[in-house]
Structure 1
Amino acid sequence: MLNYTFQWRQAFNALPDMLWGALVSLQIAVLSMVIGVIFALFLALGRQSNNKVFHSFSTGWVELARNTPGLFQIYMMYFGLGSLGILLNSYVALLAGIAFNNAGYLAETFRGGLRAIPFTQTRAARSLGMSAPQAFCLIVLPQMFRIVFYPLTNQMVWSLLMTSLGVTVGLNTDLTGVTQDLNARTFRTFEFFAIAGVIFYAMAKIITLSSRLFASRLFRY
């Protein structure tokens, strides 16, 4: 028989701390996306390169990121590198693990976006006097980002949710870490994690709806 007594007042009193933790989670997600996008561009080009070393390195990164658990990747950043004498704090290890994962997934997304753009676009740009880098940055990249915009949004949401794994490497300043600390002090597991779940859901929906609004204005033509 259910005899649990809910005590929401204590949980709501801790809401400011949880919202501050949510900002830390969002910060990690945004930074991991920025880093992931930069590396993903190079990996996507590497996957299409004729240079065997560049191609093999890019393929290895993508295969490892896409075919191993995100938790494993974060553990390797924290415990694995730590055993080799490369010590990362919990924040940096979580950020690096998520960025590594993002780069692997986005590399394949970008590669698909690049292959969807006809080569005649580059040829036309070159015929107008643009250099190869100029044609890529000014003609190809804007079209690619338009193609992959919605997958980027999905990856951003995924990055936000992955920040919850930071608690496994001792991070206690993000939303999950703050919630776990509050739970350990009060034993009000349901109340605190229910509120944390609502906050995660709200942030994910805000990201999704904001991207739709942005796309409706950016891609009207």
Structure 2
Amino acid sequence: MFSYTFQWNQALARLPRMLDGALVTMQIAILSMVIGVVLAIILTMFRRSGNRALSGFATTWVEIARNTPALFQIYMAHFGIASFGIHLSPYMSLLIGITFNNAGYLAENFRGALKAIPDTQTRAGRSLGMSEIGAFRYIILPQMLRISFLPMTNQMVWAILMTSLGVTVGMNTDLYGVTQDLNALTFRTFELFAIAAVIFYLITKAITLSARLIAARLFRY
């Protein structure tokens, strides 16, 4: 017979700590996206370079990121490289794992965006005296980022949700880790994780709504 007694007051009393954890979650997600975008642009340039070594490196990165679990990538960042004497904090391991994943997915998104940009634009830039890198930077890159803007938003949402995997490597300062610790102290499992779920939902909805507003303002034409 159902005998669980809800005690929301105990869970709500821990809300400040959970909000602090949410800030850490957002910090990791934002950092992983910023670094991931930069790496994805580099990987995209490698794949376009015509150099087989660089292209092969970029393709391998993308294939591993997109075809292995994110948990595996975080584990390798924490436990895998520890085999070589490199020991990272849970925070750094989580950041590296999510960044690796973001860069792989974003590089593939950028590759798809490039297909929507006619090659004639690069040739036009070259005819004006631009180098190939210059044409990519000033002509192709802005269009590529514009086309990829909404997929980048989806990846940001995914990065927020991926932070919950940090608990598997001992991360306890993000939203999920804080919730897990509070649950061990209070045994208010349903209440705490329900509140955490609402916080995750509000964060992701805020991101998607903000992205739509930004896109409507910046990409009106």
With normalisation by structure 1, the TM-score equals 0.97
What is the identity percentage for the equivalent residue pairs of Structure 1 and Structure 2? 68
Q: What corresponds to 1:11 in structure 2?
A: 11
The amino acid of 2:214's aligned partner reads F
Aligned counterpart, 1:189: 189
Matches within 5 A, 1:107-186: 107-186=107-186
What code does the residue aligned with 1:10 have? Q
Any stretches of 5+ residues in structure 1 without a counterpart? none
CA RMSD of aligned residues (A): 1.0
Question: What is the Cα deviation at residue 135 of structure 1?
Answer: 1.6
Give the match's secondary structure for 2:171.
coil
Letter matched to residue 214 of structure 1: I
Counterpart of 1:95? 95
1:50/1:130 CA distance change after superposition, 3 Å: closer
AA partner of residue 122 (structure 2): T
Shift of 1:122: 1.5
Stretches of structure 2 lacking an aligned partner (at least 5 in a row): none
Deviation at 1:28, TM superposition (A): 0.2
Q: Please say if residues 45 and 111 of structure 1, whose CA atoms lie closer than 8 Å, have aligned partners that are also in contact.
A: no
* CA positional deviation for 1:2: 1.2
Partner of 1:40: 40
Task: Give the structure 1 partner of residue 56 of structure 2.
Answer: 56
Higher mean C-alpha deviation, range 128-137 or range 187-196: 128-137
**What amino acid maps onto 1:139 in structure 2?**
I
Amino acid at match of 2:41: L
Task: Tell me how far apart the structure 1 counterparts of residues 95 and 117 of structure 2 sit (CA, whole Å).
Answer: 32
Q: 2:19 is paired with a residue of what secondary structure?
A: helix
Q: Distance in 2 between matches of 1:115 and 1:47?
A: 13
Deviation sequence 1:162-202 (CA, Å, 0-9, x none): 00011111111100011011000011100000000000000
Aligned to 1:30: 30
Alpha-carbon distance, 1:49 to partner: 3.2
Give, in whole Å, the separation in 1 of the partners of 2:66 and 2:49: 20
What is the identity, as a one-letter code, of the residue corresponding to 1:173? T
Q: Normalized against structure 2, the TM-score is what?
A: 0.97
